[in-house]
Every structure is written in C-alpha cells, then in structure tokens.
Structure 1
Amino acid sequence: MSDTLPPCPECGESYTYTQSSLLVCPMCGHEWAPAEEAEADGTEAAVRDSVGNVLTDGDTVTITKDLKIKGAGGGVVKVGTKVRGIRLISDGVGDHDIDAKVPGFGQMQLKSSVVKKVL
C-alpha cells in the first residue's frame, strides 16, 4: 500500500498502515511499534518519552508523575519538575535510560517512561 512503511514482520505483507503510533497489518492483524522494527533490523532503537517523542542528549524534559526517592535523603520529585541537559545511557540500572541532574535532588537516573520532552 505504501512504499515508505515496512512490511509486516509476522506475515510479510506490504499492506501496512499507521494507527496512532503503531504500524498495523490488515492481513494478519499484527500491531507493532516502529521502534520494534528498528530493533529487529539490528539498529539501535531511539529512546522515546512517555508520549512518543524521540529524546536526544541535551534535551529538556519534565517529570510526568511523582517519583518517590529511595535512600538516605528520601523525598519526592514532583510532577512538572523541569530537568535540563539530560544524557541518554545504555547501561543504566534496570530500565533506567536517562542520566540527569534533578533540581533539589542531584544526579540520578530516570526512566524515559516518566518524562516528557519540552518542545
């Protein structure tokens, strides 16, 4: 159907279309994210925020939900806290993929699923 969309990874048909942020195959009903397609090709997938924006080093993001901080200091990073100059990492603890200096808390690692890029 489209020359720019990849074929379905399940059945190989070329009739894929986009629905929201997913690619859909009408032949077999398989749905997948374009990032999954990049990982299947062996290329590194882009890090995306909670709404699907691609993140890069140096971006400014805001926190989208309250984060309880464990450890000696404790505390809570509130929704809407602006974090400047993030750095993407691939060797974070668990699925933490952002290294940043959070105002009032210092250096910490964040998950991309709890931040939103400031456009």
Structure 2
Amino acid sequence: MLVCPECGNEWSAEAESGSVGGAAVIRDANGNPLEDGDVVTVIKDLKVKGTSLVVKVGTKVKNIRLVDGDHDIDCKIDGIGPMKLKSEFVKKS
C-alpha cells in the first residue's frame, strides 16, 4: 500500500490511471480526460491543510498543469494561491 504524505490517502501500487500508449491518462470525476491548460470546476468543498481556508464547490480553476502522483493537478486558485488537487474532485468545464 502507498500512502500520500499530504492527506493520508491510501492506494495500491497496481491501481493506476488508465494508460494509452504508455502515457498515463488523467481523468476528472466524470471520466473525461484532462490536459494541461484545461479549465476545471471543483465539485466538493476542499479544506486547505494548515489553514482555515476552504475551496468552495463551483470554484473554477484555470490553466491547470498535470503532474505525476496522487495529487495530479498543479494549479493556482485566486484568493488561495498555488496548490495541488486530486482529479477525482474536479470536473472539466
């Protein structure tokens, strides 16, 4: 079992995102493939670790960047700053 040091989420090493031609395909909560530069919408209130801030449902996040790891979206949210998100908590706009 692998454990995320940021949020404590556990997953098995075999459970990976679907792959096409050897490259990992990152999908949103609805199963739509995501790409760098997409605009996504948050579908669940997300607490920001270490602060009292909350990313509210419906917050639009522009110009995402996909990275490897459990938190597979790197972005900057207005009013909060740079952070990493899990693709399971966003939908493509």
TM-score w.r.t. length of structure 2: 0.76
Q: Which residue of structure 2 lines up, in the alignment, with residue 70 of structure 1?
A: 49
**Counterpart-to-counterpart distance in 2, 1:47 and 1:55:** 6
**Counterpart-to-counterpart distance in 1, 2:74 and 2:52:** 18
Q: Unpaired segments of 5 or more residues in structure 2?
A: 1-16
Q: Unpaired segments of 5 or more residues in structure 1?
A: 1-33
Q: Which residue of structure 2 lines up, in the alignment, with residue 117 of structure 1?
A: 92
Q: Over aligned residues, Cα RMSD in angstroms?
A: 1.8
Q: Which residue of structure 2 lines up, in the alignment, with residue 50 of structure 1?
A: 29
**Counterpart-to-counterpart distance in 2, 1:85 and 1:74:** 25
Greater than 2 Å deviation, 4+ residue runs:
none
Higher relative contact order (CA closer than 8 Å, sequence separation 6+): 2
Corresponding residue pairs, total:
77
Structure with the bigger percentage of strand: 2
TM-score w.r.t. length of structure 1: 0.60
Q: Which residue of structure 2 lines up, in the alignment, with residue 98 of structure 1?
A: 73
Structure with the bigger percentage of helix: 1
SS of corresponding position for 1:113: helix
Q: Which residue of structure 2 lines up, in the alignment, with residue 84 of structure 1?
A: 62
Q: Given residue 97 of structure 1, which amino acid in structure 2 is its aligned partner?
A: D
SS of corresponding position for 2:44: coil
Aligned pairs (5 A) from 1:20-39: 35=18, 38=19
**Counterpart-to-counterpart distance in 2, 1:108 and 1:64:** 16
Larger Cα-atom Rg: 1
**Counterpart-to-counterpart distance in 1, 2:58 and 2:45:** 9
Identical residues among aligned pairs (%): 58
